[in-house]
Amino acid sequence: MGIAELFNTSPFEPLLHHLQKVKECVNLVRPMLEAVHSEAYDKLESLTDQVFKSEHDADIIKDEIRQEIPRSFFLPVYRGDLLSYLKLQDDMADSVEDVAFLLTMKKLKLPEKLSDELFAYADTVLKVCEKCYQMNEHIRDLVAKGFHADQANGVFEMIKAVEKAEWEADKAQYGLSKSLFAMEEELKATDIVLWWRVFLELGQLANAAEKTADRLRRMLSQ
């Protein structure tokens, strides 16, 4: 089914279609980090190629949605809000692509001292994304009920859960960054910079998921 037909079903159906490609990108975050940890650089290259392809596919869907939104005669939300929601969702895929770029700039090695803390942080970021997905799964019901705030109590609770998870990710990022910089005598400066950038981009992934949730709250509150 094309994007235009999806709009006939629901204004959010194309965005959920786009989200599938975003999820494909996000699902590769942990495998990429595991490949670096095990120094499986050929596998890392294969995984990053998958990220680049899924991110490109997401961009194509995003552009199709942008072309089709003005052709819709009626939307229960402002077109600008829908486009902003799409952009924030797409930012999630962009952040994963940036992580992939950074991990392949050189044959990075993950210090064993940081491995447990890094994977715990990555899992916290992925938890934010997962809660964002769960929130999105209820959008169809919201649209069916007229997209009214008084019908969205459960969704508001999910939005709060996304925000709480993002706050936890921020704390984990801060602790991990401190641990990284405490190793400045043991690591090359280039490795410290690259790992710090990876941590920041993972943080941006969590931020984009949280901002998507906040945008949904705004649309429900109008």
CATH number for the domain harbouring residue 105 = 1.20.58.220
Structure tokens at 53: 């392809």
Write down the pLDDT at residue 140.
73
- Cα–Cα distance measured from residue 97 to residue 82, given in angstroms and rounded to the nearest whole number: 23
Rounded distance, CA 61 to CA 45, Å? Answer: 25
Residues of the chain by 3-state class (helix, strand, coil), percent to 5: 80, 0, 20
76 DSSP assignment: S
Of 166, 14, 176, give the one whose Cα is nearest residue 95. Answer: 166
As averages over each run of 10 residues, the pLDDT of the chain (222 residues) reads 62 86 97 98 98 96 84 64 91 98 96 96 98 86 66 80 96 97 94 97 98 88 72
Helix, strand, or coil (residue 118): helix
Contact yes or no for 44/104 (Cβ under 8 A): yes
Q: Mapping DSSP to helix (H, G, I), strand (E, B) and coil, where does residue 21 land?
A: helix
Which single residue is written with the structure tokens 């960054």? Answer: 177
Contact yes or no for 118/176 (Cβ under 8 A): yes
What's the chain's Rg over C-alpha atoms? 19
Q: Which domain holds residue 201?
A: 3-221
pLDDT score for 33: 98
Kindly give, in sequence order, each residue whose CB lies less than 8 Å from that of residue 122, ignoring residues fewer than 6 positions away. 29, 30, 33, 202
d(CA 46, CA 170): 29
For the entire predicted model, the pTM comes to 0.91
Number of domains in the chain: 1
